Structures are given as structure tokens and as C-alpha cells.
Structure 1
Amino acid sequence: MTHQGACHCGAVRLTLPSTPEVATDCNCSLCRRIGGPWVYFEFGTVTIEGHPESTESYVQGDKTLRTIRCKHCGCVTHWEPTSLEPGARHGVHLANFDRALMASVRVRRFDGADTWKFLDE
């Protein structure tokens, strides 16, 4: 079953290839500002329309990820790797999808600020 979501204005549309079972709520310096939760899929399996023509990106820290937002409404939609290596994946901001999907997914708390471990193990 696929799921469709979009930024607030609809310029960036995302389709998940399947229903995620687990999401991550991270507290790193970026995620604590832009929120979450995040779900992850193999790079290339998420369909993204409106990217790159309607998006802007931000690369921080170790420069391994590019965080993408809509340049019209400002909603963060996903992140992608800056270099494609085997096992690369997308992080998709689940808040851009139906609230019922968000409510159905287990959310794990991840300490990306300090320990780099899940806090709910």
C-alpha cells in the first residue's frame, strides 16, 4: 500500500512505497528545530514530485545529508544523501502525510544530540 503526502502548499508531493512500521523522533541540533517524526526508505523508492524545481536544500555538519524544504511554503519534506553509496536511504518527514498514518506508526526517540542511541530500548 502506498501513501501520498505533500508540503503545505502542495508544490512538493511524496509517495511512500509502503506503510512504515517505525518512525524516529530525533533530538539532534537540526531535528529538534524542524521536528519529525522521520521514516526511512531505500533511496530511489520514494517518489518525489516537484523536486528539485520547487525545493531548496541545506547541508550541515558532516555533509552526508541534504535536508530538503519547499521553497514556497517552507515545509521540510525529506532528506537525501549527498553521495549515493550502497545502502543509501531517504529520510521522509512523516508530518507531511495524513494524521491517521502518523498515528498508526510507532515512534522511537533517538538521542542524536549526545549518545547516538535510542532512548526507548
Structure 2
Amino acid sequence: MELSCHCGGVTITLPHAPDEIIRCNCSVCRKTGFLALRYPENSVAVAGKVDGYVRNDMSDEPPCLTLWHCPSCGVVTHWTLLDEWPYDDMERPDRMGVNGRLLDPELAKSLPVREVDGASA
């Protein structure tokens, strides 16, 4: 399954259709409109030029992920965890998030939505 940003400059190939959409209420997801589709990070192929924003706005927590977007149209495409995992007490998860807003709207409407309270985490 192939997804793309608005201008088509970034394409994302998924290993299979998503099972669900995750709607997080953290400030980044709320303000960008990001809806997560989670996959093992090595199962997704990203092609095209992307610019990243390392989320480092949480004063009590070290940065742990990069939010990627297309430099041409500005659409947020996916996030990846940092290679240097900052948490000694937790193993680095094998996952990345793809923006569910890139899905065909009919497919997106057919998927269950799981609410995640990222604002309190």
C-alpha cells in the first residue's frame, strides 16, 4: 500500500493496510492533525526528501522522536524514534508512526480509532 504527501514528493510504502488509527491528544499530534498508523520501523519504506523536527519541548522528558514532513508541501508524513534512545529503564520500541491523514478517506473512515492520552503521559 502506497501513500504520499499532498504534492507527491514523499511516498510511504506500507507492508499492509492498517488495522486501526491512533488518535493522540499530545500537543504535537493535536496541532499537526497527526493520526498514527504504527508499524515496525524496518517494514515501512519512505522515499523522497523529508525535513525533521526533533521533539524536545517536554521539559521533564528527553527528546525521543523526530517528526518528518515534506519540505515542498509541508505535510507531516511520519515520525521515527531517535536511534539514541534516552531511557535507560525502557527498551527502545521497534515502531514508527505514519500519518493516517495520508490514507484514502474511505479507508480511514472504515478503521477503528483508538484514543491515546499522550497529553498526560
- Say yes or no: TM over 0.5: yes
Q: Which has the higher strand share?
A: 1
Of residues 36, 39, 51 in structure 1, which corresponds to 2:37? 39
Q: Which has the higher helix share?
A: 2
Q: Determine helix, strand or coil for the equivalent of 2:80.
A: strand
Q: Which runs of 5+ in 1 are unaligned?
A: 117-121
Q: CA RMSD, aligned part only?
A: 1.5
2:77 is aligned with what amino acid? T
Deviations 1:35-68 (A, max 9, x none): 1311100011011111xxx211001133111000
The answer to whether 1:23 aligns with 2:24 is no
TM-score by length of 1: 0.84
TM-score by length of 2: 0.84
TM-fit CA distance, 1:16: 1.0
1:60 is aligned with what amino acid? R
**4+ residue runs over 4 A deviation:** none
2:4 is aligned with what amino acid? A
Q: How does 1:59-78 map to 2 (within 5 A)?
A: 59-61=54-56, 62-78=62-78
In the alignment of these two chains, the number of paired residues is 110
